[in-house]
């Protein structure tokens, strides 16, 4: 395939968001092909790429493209920052083989949101697992084939028009279809030097022989560009810059010189012997900033000087850059960093969210002091190893400084809480006695223990720790515990309010990962309550702050979060909220698709079972997950299991036992459940009390209130009470837009021979609510039989509603009617 055809194929793949990777050998024409693809792209083009000497600089390839500093320490935030700048444009990344790990990790996230085309040289040193992730995320992985003989001959003639057919044939034969080799060899042949007949690498020979014609100053300047891995000021390259420009090997952009081919510049550097290359690195170290100079000195083998320059650079920067420089200094061969440098590195790495690297930096042959022990314990605790964290800080004596002892006690307490909650309570009492006015970190740990045991006032203490401004990470961690405990206790309104307060604080600090976690769990709490998120009001990092609106708004808001590059917790809650609303409103196919890939989170695990139950598949809904969660989620899992067993043919009292293959009476109700969940499970165990259980859900979770009323209607032996419960369930479900639960209520009413005109007032589109519900399900791809089952009406009634909708909308087919109905709904908002 010609390059023109390949460019057309790549452009075709880039008509929608996706990742196209162009791979080829050195000199294969990757950069030229990228330019062709970019030239045909609609919208703005954001071009960047990796640089050889700066391959370890986080997010450099992406920063060059969007011309902005990016948050490389947080891959989801990095991907979102790039997406918000590129939007409908095209992101072009050259020399992916020099891209840093953060850039490579962000590409799979970006591939789902924007158009990306990248060039990757082969061979390269990208790790196998990273390469596999890129291949899986790529829309297309296109190999640049060598030029065919005719195209290679045409290129040779364009390069050196004076060559005769025999010379062109010789160039083509030796070049092996490599455009760079064709160009270099044709120029060489045009100068009367002929072509070689040795069995050496074609491209390397072409570059080496071409560079042999340059003055020494030009060869040194080109080698310097290769070692720098970036454009360089004219003054740095000296007299050699002019000769390189004349030879067409570089171009000038303002006051800087840019190599036409980075590979040629790298090859020029590779042609130097080891001593000459080390000497050139030393020269460049004298002319570059400390951060860059440190890497040149390390390449030259002068690790002591590299260490000093890295520390000097770290003193003048902050955040992730500081962490990277200190980590670099600590890992230089033959250098034994002093304790204060290791401590500073660990502190910076922890602040950047890299606890594993922090722990490694503090691993040394000898003791580093109590401050280092505390930092290592903190790093191990954040890395999920409470046993090792406890071992790291246990030797710290009480005679150590007050700040160190407080940090030690905090880590010991949290390590106990992670492993043995009862032991943590004893430890908390001792620590509380030691600190009449505990420091913020200790106060937050004490509040966490009291919250785990639901001690009186635990909410106030966690809220106070969350509001503490001295340590943002402690505050966010405390706020997250507060939200999770409130949710587990079924206090969903309070959980949503606390989550939105915390999200607003995170937005002010640009803490994207934490902000999205809080927004997602707030949406989840709203959906469980039977409330809905409002039409999004854009906030920091492109997220939204909901308040109150329609069920469709809830779907859009949570789906918008789910489509972003998110931490695992945030994505799970966003997916769970969206899928539950979709399932409850009858869009079961959409919910099934969203939940197709299990993520192991208790919220999505329950919604998957609940969607299966709503879809009339009790056998799938009865499957108990490995991690049912705690508190409210545990109760919801058990309630759904009872419903699944009942629908599968078990009676009310034996429903739970049937669901879990348990003989005899239903087992004990799990401990730690909210009152409403416990009353509901008690009603299932006894076969009575569903109406009272429904009242306990009022104001907490409307859909569970409806399910209790449905159970009351199905199990109450008094027909009048049963009909009353079913009518109330139908009313609440219709009011909340829970069409599947409303359908179950109507099916129950029909068993009592209750048939009413349930049509709602006509909307502005002249469609009844029932017609709208039916056409929404048609748009979701549901067949007539499934629509009838979900809405609790007959298949004939479904067809009647479809025909009525078609007539009112002037549609010729049911599909057209569904599309028009959805369009009018969107316009009506």
The dihedral over CA atoms of 52, 53, 56, 58, expressed in degrees to the nearest 10, equals -80
CA angle 627, 628, 629 (to 5 degrees): 90
**Helix/strand/coil for 191:** coil
pLDDT at 655: 46
Confidence bin at 783 (pLDDT 50/70/90) = confident
In the prediction, which pLDDT does 653 show? Answer: 47
- Lowest mean pLDDT across 210-214, 319-323, 587-591, 769-773: 210-214
The CA distance from 235 to 241, in Å, is 9
| DSSP letter, residue 540 | G
Quote the mean pLDDT of the chain: 81
**pLDDT number for residue 557:** 52
Here the tokens at position 573 are 């809650």
Smallest CA-to-CA distance from 287 within 327, 234, 219, 240 is with 234
* Helix runs in 585-738, H state only: 588-594, 602-614, 618-621, 632-647, 655-659, 675-686, 690-697, 702-715, 719-736
From the list 707, 704, 716, 793, the residue with the least C-alpha distance to 747 is: 793
DSSP 762: P
Q: What is the mean pLDDT of residues 272-290?
A: 90
Instruction: Kindly report which listed range (288-302, 408-422, 657-671) carries the lowest average pLDDT score.
Output: 657-671
Q: What distance in Å separates the CA atoms of residue 405 and residue 401, rounded to the nearest whole number?
A: 6
Residue 20: pLDDT over 90: yes
Please say if the pLDDT value at position 257 is more than 80.
yes
What confidence tier does 21 reach under pLDDT thresholds 50, 70, 90?
very high
783: which 2 tokens?
């067949």
Q: What angle do CA 651, 653, 658 make, to 5 degrees?
A: 70
Residue 702 contacts residue 732 (beta carbons within 8 Å): yes
Q: State the pLDDT at residue 513.
A: 66
Band (pLDDT 50/70/90 cuts) for residue 647 is confident
State what percent of residues in the chain have pLDDT above 90.
21
Residues 703-722, mean pLDDT to the nearest whole number: 90
Give all strands of the β-sheet with 140-143 in edge-to-edge order. 45-49, 90-94, 115-121, 18-24, 140-143
Residue with the two structure tokens 């293959």: 661
When pLDDT is cut at 50, 70 and 90, the band that residue 558 belongs to is: low
Q: Which residues of 97-130 are buried (b: 16+ CB within 10 A; e: fewer)?
A: bbbbbbbbbbbbbbbebbbbbbbbbeeeebeeee
Checking if the pLDDT of 760 tops 50, the result is no
The runs of H, that is alpha helices, within 331-468 are: 339-351, 355-361, 370-382, 386-393, 402-419, 421-434, 440-452, 458-467
* Span 617-624, average pLDDT: 76
Rounded to an integer, the average pLDDT of 178-184 is 76
Collapsing DSSP to helix, strand or coil, 633 comes out as: helix
- Give per-residue pLDDT as tens, 508-540: 766 666 788 888 888 888 888 876 433 333 333
pLDDT band at 667 (very low <50, low <70, confident <90, very high): low
221-255 confidence digits (pLDDT tens): 988 988 888 889 988 888 888 888 876 678 888 88
Distances (CA, A) of 369 to 114, 173, 401: 49, 67, 12
Choose the weakest-confidence range: 57-61, 152-156, 746-750, 809-813. 809-813
DSSP readout, 560-615?
HHHTS---HHHHHHHHHHHHHHHHHTT-HHHHHHHTSS----HHHHHHHHHHHHHT
Determine the pLDDT at residue 137: 93
**pLDDT reading at 107 higher than 90:** yes
Q: Taking residues 106-130, what's their average pLDDT?
A: 88
pTM, two decimals, is: 0.58
**Residue of higher predicted confidence among 763 and 471:** 471
CA atoms within 13 A on the CB side of 596: 6
What integer pLDDT is reported at residue 828 of this predicted model?
A: 53
DSSP 3-state of 535:
coil
Q: What is the pLDDT of residues 33-54, one digit of tens each?
A: 898 898 888 889 999 998 877 8
SS3 759: coil
Return the pLDDT at 284.
Answer: 92
Q: Which tens digits make up the pLDDT trace of 56-91?
A: 888 999 999 999 889 888 899 999 999 999 999 999
* pLDDT value for 391: 92
DSSP string, 294-351: HHHHHHTT-HHHHHHHHHHHHTT--HHHHHHHHHHHHT-TT----HHHHHHHHHHHHH
Q: Which one of 27-36, 61-70, 475-484 scores highest in mean pLDDT?
A: 61-70
The lowest-confidence range among 173-177, 654-658, 692-696, 760-764 is 760-764
User: What are the residues whose beta carbons fall under 8 Å from the beta carbon of 223, sequence distance 6 or more?
Assistant: 265, 268, 269, 271, 272, 277, 280
Q: What is the DSSP letter of 670?
A: P
Q: What pLDDT was estimated at residue 208?
A: 67
């Amino acid at each position: 395939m010609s390059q023109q055809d390949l460019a057309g194929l790549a452009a075709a793949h880039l008509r929608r968001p996706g990742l196209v990777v162009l791979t080829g050998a050195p000199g294969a024409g990757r950069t030229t092909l990228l330019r062709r693809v970019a030239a045909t792209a609609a919208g703005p083009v954001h071009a960047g790429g990796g640089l050889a000497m700066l391959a370890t600089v986080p997010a450099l390839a992406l920063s060059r493209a969007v011309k902005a500093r990016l948050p490389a320490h947080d891959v989801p935030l990095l991907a979102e920052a790039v997406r918000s700048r590129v939007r409908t444009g095209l992101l072009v990344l050259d020399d992916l083989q020099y891209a840093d790990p953060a850039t490579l990790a962000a590409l799979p996230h970006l591939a789902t949101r924007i158009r990306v085309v990248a060039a990757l040289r082969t061979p390269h040193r990208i790790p196998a697992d990273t390469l596999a992730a890129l291949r899986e995320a790529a829309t297309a992985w296109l190999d640049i084939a060598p030029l065919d003989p005719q195209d290679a001959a045409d290129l040779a003639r364009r390069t050196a028009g004076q060559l005769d057919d025999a010379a062109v044939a010789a160039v083509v034969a030796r070049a092996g279809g490599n455009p760079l080799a064709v160009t270099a060899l044709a120029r060489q042949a045009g100068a009367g030097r002929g072509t070689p007949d040795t069995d050496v690498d074609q491209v390397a020979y072409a570059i080496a022989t071409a560079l042999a014609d340059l003055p020494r100053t030009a060869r040194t300047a080109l080698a310097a560009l290769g070692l720098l891995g970036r454009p360089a000021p004219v003054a740095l390259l000296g007299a050699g810059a002019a000769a390189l420009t004349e030879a067409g090997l570089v171009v000038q952009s303002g006051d800087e010189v840019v190599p036409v081919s980075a590979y040629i510049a790298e090859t020029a550097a590779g042609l130097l012997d080891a001593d000459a290359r080390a000497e050139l690195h030393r020269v460049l170290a004298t002319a570059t900033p400390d951060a860059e100079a440190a890497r040149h000195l390390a390449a030259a083998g002068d690790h002591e000087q590299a260490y000093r320059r890295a520390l000097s650079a770290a003193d003048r920067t902050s955040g992730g850059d500081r962490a990277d420089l200190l980590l670099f200094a600590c890992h230089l061969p033959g250098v034994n960093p002093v304790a204060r440098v290791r401590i500073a590195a660990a502190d910076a790495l922890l602040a950047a969210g890299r606890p594993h690297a922090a722990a490694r930096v503090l691993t040394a042959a000898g003791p580093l002091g109590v401050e280092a022990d505390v930092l290592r314990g903190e790093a191990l605790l954040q890395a999920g190893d409470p046993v090792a964290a406890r071992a790291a800080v246990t030797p710290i004596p009480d005679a150590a400084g007050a700040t160190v002892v407080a940090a030690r006690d905090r880590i010991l307490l949290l390590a106990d809480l992670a492993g043995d909650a009862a032991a943590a309570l004893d430890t908390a009492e001792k620590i509380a006695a030691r600190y009449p006015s505990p420091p913020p970190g200790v106060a937050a740990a004490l509040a966490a223990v009291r919250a785990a045991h639901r001690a009186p006032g635990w909410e106030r203490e966690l809220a106070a720790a969350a509001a503490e401004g001295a340590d943002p990470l402690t505050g966010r961690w405390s706020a997250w515990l507060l939200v999770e405990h409130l949710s587990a206790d079924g206090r969903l309104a309070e959980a949503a309010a606390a989550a939105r307060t915390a999200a607003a604080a995170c937005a002010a600090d640009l803490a994207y990962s934490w902000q999205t976690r809080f927004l997602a769990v707030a949406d989840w709490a709203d959906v469980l309550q039977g409330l809905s998120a409002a039409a999004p009001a854009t906030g920091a990092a492109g997220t939204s702050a909901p308040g109150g609106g329609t069920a469709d708004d809830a779907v859009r808001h949570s789906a918008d979060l789910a489509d972003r590059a998110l931490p695992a917790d945030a994505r799970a809650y966003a997916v769970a909220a969206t899928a539950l609303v979709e399932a409850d409103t009858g869009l079961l196919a959409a919910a099934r698709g969203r939940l197709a890939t299990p993520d192991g989170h208790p919220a999505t695990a329950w919604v998957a079972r609940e969607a299966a139950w709503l879809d009339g598949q009790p056998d799938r809904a009865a499957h108990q997950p490995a991690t049912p969660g705690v508190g409210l989620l545990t109760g919801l899992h058990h309630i759904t299991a009872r419903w699944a067993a009942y629908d599968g043919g078990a009676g009310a009292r034996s429903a739970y036992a049937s669901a879990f293959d348990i003989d005899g009476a239903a087992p004990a109700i799990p401990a730690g459940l909210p009152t409403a969940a416990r009353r509901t499970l008690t009603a299932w165990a006894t076969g009575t009390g569903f109406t009272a259980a429904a009242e306990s859900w009022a104001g907490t979770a409307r859909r569970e209130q409806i399910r209790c009323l449905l159970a009351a209607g199905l199990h109450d032996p008094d027909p009048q009470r049963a009909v009353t419960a079913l009518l109330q369930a139908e009313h609440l479900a219709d009011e909340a837009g829970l069409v599947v639960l409303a359908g179950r209520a109507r099916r129950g009413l029909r068993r009592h021979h209750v048939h009413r005109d349930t049509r709602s007032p006509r909307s502005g589109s002249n469609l009844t609510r029932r017609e709208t519900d039916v056409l929404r399900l048609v748009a979701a791809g549901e067949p007539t039989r499934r629509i009838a089952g979900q809405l609790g009406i007959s298949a004939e009634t479904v067809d009647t509603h479809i025909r009525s909708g078609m007539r009112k909308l002037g549609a010729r087919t049911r599909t057209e009617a569904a599309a028009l109905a959805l369009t009018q709904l969107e316009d009506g908002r």
